[in-house]
Amino acid sequence: MRDRNFQTSVNLLIEADSYSRLKKAKIIKKTSMSKIIRQGILLVLDKIDKENNAVIVEKTVSETKNGIYTRPVPITLPEEMFEQIKSITDRENMGLSDYIRVAIQEKLTTTENNKIQKTLRR
């Protein structure tokens, strides 16, 4: 059984001509139709990001190696904090999880920098 790193399935309706082209491309590229579709989606999303000057979040090691995040961490937020985050993510067209990941990464970076600075001052 193949190791799968994908968590969300999508049902997709496409035109018959596109399906035929997709089948041919799959044979030419010796890959799956799903992989071609995923790559195409990423190209379109990248184009939209560039057109809208979207903030591009630096990829983490787990993203580049596995393609996804693998450790879910459920958290409970005060309603006011959730609404603030929701408002920002809606305005920035960003997922809640992405925003929270960036906030945590910034905090970790700050904490690590503070530890390093304290060590250097000694």
Summarize pLDDT for 46-79 with one digit per residue, the tens: 777 777 665 554 444 444 444 566 667 778 888 8
- pLDDT for 67 equals 52
Average pLDDT of the residues of the chain = 76
Alpha helix stretches (DSSP H) within 30-68: 33-51, 61-66
- pLDDT for 69 equals 64
Per-domain boundaries in the chain: 13-54, 57-122
**Assessment of whether the complete model's pTM goes beyond 0.75:** no
Interatomic CA distance for residues 66 and 24, integer angstroms: 28
Return the CATH architecture of domain 57-122: Orthogonal Bundle (1.10)
- pLDDT for 111 equals 77
CA distances (Å), 103 to each of 85, 98, 100, 106, 109, in order? 11, 9, 5, 5, 10
- pLDDT for 120 equals 60
Residues of the chain with pLDDT under 70: 1-8, 52-71, 114-122
